[in-house]
Structure 1
């Protein structure tokens, strides 16, 4: 028996979880003000989770601290490693063509990135889910901090402060990411340039401009681009290659989404 076809379905279902009253309705950044974003940001469960976990990590560091030099090194290296780890995950995992082919990974891929590209300005799916982000942050930062601290016989303290750095860096990344999707012109030239490149990633060609706060690694790996350099719009910019034809063969994401939506997310269902 062949897999069911999901062609022609215009709307995409976004999985919702229980949230505070503020989050019982959808929020779209292209229709929000900067003030509304700040109010939403400080109330979002994932952001609250990052802050609380960072305070716990800092508390554990205070309990068994590392000396000043390894502490500063752990913070600095964790801050530098983070953009590289994000680039690698964004390019080779989130934009992969393999996760949706594995039944038990399909729902994770859908939640952590497919939904975001299907509707880039939908705030509820812009933030990562804690059960996927926190382990990733820990793996990217804590071992580095532990290795640095161990040289001074303070591996535990180094790991804790590096993990806290990763969590707080994530809060910063998420806020900048929100601004890039907000109906708002940043006053900072740096953020304005980042916004321009990130919008090209979401609305012109998803195969490049993977950075959020820096495009250093895009330039290093040859994935940095300007829209004028790619005159043709990518046909998969909103579905990451998960087309109706692909869904016929690997249907798990389509089943969770209510189909495969096509076209600009704000224009679906207008016909």
Structure 2
């Protein structure tokens, strides 16, 4: 395959659903998470300050953000990269829709961030978990931190595929994600929270470089 043909294949945006509406909803502009969730984050912070001190709100942001980074790592490692035994043989189809398609067409610009139909249920689950773990008042700043982490994740993910790094750390983040796509898909599960790969033993070696594409 020529370089031009390979680039075209990686950039392709395949149809995923027979329904025109569902297929359209599966494609989103990369700024969608920012537009949808930043006002929600701001509203959560304002509301949180009516219930908690500034110190507790800041603490909630940190706790929620760390909660997201763990969700990012474990969700990517165990949910996105696992083919579940679902009824009617739907496991492979489910895995393909939520993540497999991204590994086959990694540069599709309209499928690099989560559609709201997928991200919204995650935020609702996070709210329920936060209320159970932290109670009714501290849950709100924690949720704000969690959503902030998610928005950062989606922005960084888009950037790793289409941005140009300007610092050593940015080059490291981009390199690690390219290794996940083009060297070994069983490592490098932290997209922006790269430290968890070092903690949980799924980090790449220093000299690793992208090679044969992993799917």
Q: TM range, normalised to the smaller chain?
A: 0.7 to 0.9
Please give the alpha-carbon distance, in whole angstroms, between the structure 2 residues aligned to 1:162 and 1:231.
37
Q: Counterpart of 1:127 in 2: which secondary structure?
A: coil
1: CA distance, partners of 2:36 / 2:81: 26
Instruction: Give 1:77's aligned residue.
Output: 63
1:171 and 2:173 matched = no
Contact kept in structure 2, 1:112 and 1:128, CA below 8 Å: no
Q: Which residue of 2 aligns with 1:68?
A: 54
Number of corresponding residues? 199
3-state secondary structure, aligned to 1:128: coil
**CA distance 1:86–1:56, shift in 2 (3 Å):** same
Map 1:113-132 → 2, pairs under 5 A: 113-132=99-118
Alpha carbons of 1:97 and 1:106: their partners in 2 closer, same or farther (altered >3 Å)? closer
Please report the TM-score for the alignment, with normalisation by the length of structure 2. Answer: 0.76
Deviates more, 1:136-145 or 1:79-88: 136-145
- Measured at CA, do residues 108 and 167 of structure 1 come closer, stay the same or move farther in structure 2, by a change above 3 Å? farther
Aligned counterpart for 2:166 among listed residues 184, 187, 207: 187
Q: Deviations over 1:118-173 (max 9, x none)?
A: 1001021111122332332443466447744x4xxxx33x2122212222222211
Q: Of 121, 139, 157, which residue of structure 2 is paired with 1:135?
A: 121
After alignment, is 88-97 or 135-144 more displaced?
135-144
The residue that corresponds to 1:111 in the other structure is: 97
Q: Which runs of 5+ in 2 are unaligned?
A: 1-8, 18-22
- Out of 11-20 and 190-199, give the one that drifted further: 11-20
Of the candidates 190, 202, 211, which is equivalent to residue 223 of structure 1?
Answer: 202
In the TM superposition, what is the alpha-carbon distance from 1:87 to its structure 2 partner? 0.7
The answer to whether the 8 A contact 1:94-1:112 is kept is yes
Counterpart of 1:165 in 2: which secondary structure? helix
Residues 225-234 or 105-114, more deviating: 225-234
Deviation for aligned residue 1:100: 6.8
RMSD: 3.2
Which range moves more in the overlay, 75-84 or 64-73? 64-73
SS of corresponding position for 1:115: helix
Deviation at 1:97, TM superposition (A): 2.3
TM-score of the pair, normalised by structure 1: 0.62
- The question of 1:17 aligning with 2:24 is answered yes
Is contact 1:71-1:161 (8 Å) kept? Answer: yes
Shift of 1:192: 0.9
CA distance 1:230–1:194, shift in 2 (3 Å): closer
Report the Cα offset of residue 209 of structure 1: 0.6
> 1:74, 1:144 within 8 Å by CA — same for their partners in 2?
no
Pair 108,49 (structure 1): closer, same or farther in 2 beyond 3 Å: farther
Change (3 A) 1:145 1:227: same
For structure 1, list consecutive stretches of 5 or more residues without a partner in the other structure: 1-9, 24-39, 239-271
For residue 48 of structure 1, the aligned residue among 30, 35, 40 is 35
Alpha-carbon distance in 1 for matches of 2:156, 2:42:
21
